[in-house]
């Protein structure tokens, strides 16, 4: 069984006590390895030393971990930490150097105590630390490189391996947060989680899923161009009526001319009045015919437009019609 000590500032005493308890449990489990197991462990250690001499640190580390599972000793832990350091696993090496130092002090093994002193001093400076600041949020969870960080370690400097690290965070009512942090040896960096609220959807302002917002098709018998048809019909009728009135006025002026002209020296004004009303009547009837034609066309045309307007204006010389349909 491999026991590792995680160094953590103010909690050092508790962590050390916990580690020693685990080491004691490990010794109890391996209290009586058989002679054959002990010999196999010695053989593994001997081969691991040869791998170390050849610089084959990964092969040596594998053999040392198997040997320590038989009988954990301060010397084996020192060699495990040495291999981890050579492989660039600085955090693991720091933990195993610390465990080797504590085990050596318990066993009064001065050789190991002396051997780990310098690596411990150096690694405690070399290992970078990352502090993750997490603003208060309901249900907050933070992951570092895919592993959940204990809430008690928020805002605490944690030793991490040099290189790129990924911080991910989530909380109730917040958008997921992700960032990457690059750390080099000896660096101490702080990464702060930035919460962004998820907008609250107001159901009163959103269309219901049960009653989709579907606009009914426009009726072909109302609105749009049909308004123009109605307007044209009314104007045509008005023009026709105005023409009839003008004709009757012209007829009256003609009668008045016949009665009064024999007694007058100049009948020009009376004749002008007759001609004027005749012209107005004729113009009105022509306009009525034109408006009637337009109305017939509009009544027969399907509706495609949603707006129309029209007006009739009295202008010098007759009537004028303007509009949009």
Determine the pLDDT at residue 255.
80
Distances (CA, A) of 25 to 16, 71, 126, 226, 280: 14, 12, 31, 95, 122
* Cα–Cα dist 101/12, whole Å: 14
The neighbouring-strand residues paired with 169 are 142, 177
Determine the pLDDT at residue 216.
47
Determine the pLDDT at residue 291.
77
Determine the pLDDT at residue 320.
56
Determine the pLDDT at residue 12.
43
Determine the pLDDT at residue 264.
66
Nearest to 282 by CA among 315, 237, 317, 233: 317
79 Cβ neighbours under 8 A, 6+ residues apart:
45, 48, 49, 52, 60, 64
Number of helices (H), then strands (E), belonging to the chain: the values are: 8, 9
Fill in the DSSP letter of residue 127.
S
Strand 157-159 to 129-133 pairing: antiparallel
Structural contact between residues 313 and 287, judged by C-beta atoms closer than 8 angstroms: no
Q: What is the three-class DSSP state of 190?
A: strand
* Cα–Cα dist 274/290, whole Å: 25
User: What is the pTM (predicted TM-score) of this model?
Assistant: 0.49
Structural contact between residues 67 and 76, judged by C-beta atoms closer than 8 angstroms: yes
Nearest to 192 by CA among 204, 177, 203, 212: 177
Residues of the chain where predicted confidence (pLDDT) is lower than 70: 1-31, 203-226, 257, 259, 263-266, 270, 285, 299, 302-325
Angle formed by the axes of helices 225-260 and 268-300, nearest 10°: 160
The neighbouring-strand residues paired with 148 are 143
Count other C-beta atoms under 10 Å from residue 64's C-beta: 30
Q: Which contacts qualify for 197-201: CB closer than 8 Å, 24 or more apart?
A: 197/173, 198/173, 198/174
* Radius of gyration of the chain measured on its C-alpha atoms: 51
Structural contact between residues 156 and 130, judged by C-beta atoms closer than 8 angstroms: no
Structural contact between residues 91 and 160, judged by C-beta atoms closer than 8 angstroms: yes
Structural contact between residues 104 and 116, judged by C-beta atoms closer than 8 angstroms: yes
User: What strands, in cross-sheet order, belong to the sheet with 147-148?
Assistant: 147-148, 141-144, 163-170, 177-183
* Cα–Cα dist 253/193, whole Å: 98
Determine the pLDDT at residue 306.
45
Strand 141-144 to 129-133 pairing: unpaired
């Amino acid at each position: 069984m491999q026991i590792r000590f995680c160094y953590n500032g103010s909690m050092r005493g508790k962590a050390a006590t916990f580690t020693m308890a685990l080491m004691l449990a490990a010794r109890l489990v391996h209290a009586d390895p058989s002679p054959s197991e002990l010999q196999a462990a010695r053989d593994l250690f001997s081969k691991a030393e040869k791998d170390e001499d050849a610089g084959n640190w990964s092969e040596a580390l594998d053999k040392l971990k198997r040997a320590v599972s038989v009988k954990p000793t301060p010397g084996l832990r020192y060699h495990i930490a040495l291999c981890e350091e050579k492989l660039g696993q600085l955090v693991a090496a720091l933990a195993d150097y610390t465990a080797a130092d504590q085990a050596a002090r318990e066993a009064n093994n001065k050789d190991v105590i002396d051997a780990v002193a310098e690596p411990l001093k150096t690694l405690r400076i070399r290992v970078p630390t990352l502090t993750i600041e997490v603003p208060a949020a309901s249900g907050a969870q933070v992951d570092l490189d895919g592993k959940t960080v204990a809430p008690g370690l928020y805002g605490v400097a944690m030793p991490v391996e040099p290189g790129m690290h990924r911080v991910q965070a989530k909380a109730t009512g917040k958008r997921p947060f992700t960032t990457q942090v690059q750390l080099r040896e000896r660096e101490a960096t702080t990464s702060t989680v930035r919460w962004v609220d998820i907008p609250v959807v107001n159901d009163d302002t959103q269309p219901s899923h049960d009653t989709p917002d579907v606009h009914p098709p426009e009726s072909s018998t109302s609105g749009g161009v049909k308004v123009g048809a109605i307007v044209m019909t009314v104007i045509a009728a008005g023009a026709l009526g105005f023409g009839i009135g003008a004709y009757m006025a012209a007829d009256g002026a003609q009668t008045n001319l016949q009665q009064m002209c024999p007694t007058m020296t100049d009948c020009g004004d009376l004749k002008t009045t007759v001609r004027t009303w005749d012209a107005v009547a004729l113009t009105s009837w022509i306009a009525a015919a034109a408006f009637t034609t337009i109305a017939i066309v509009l009544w027969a045309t399907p509706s495609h437009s949603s707006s129309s307007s029209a007006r009739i204006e009295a202008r010098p010389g007759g009537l004028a019609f303007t509009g949009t349909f």
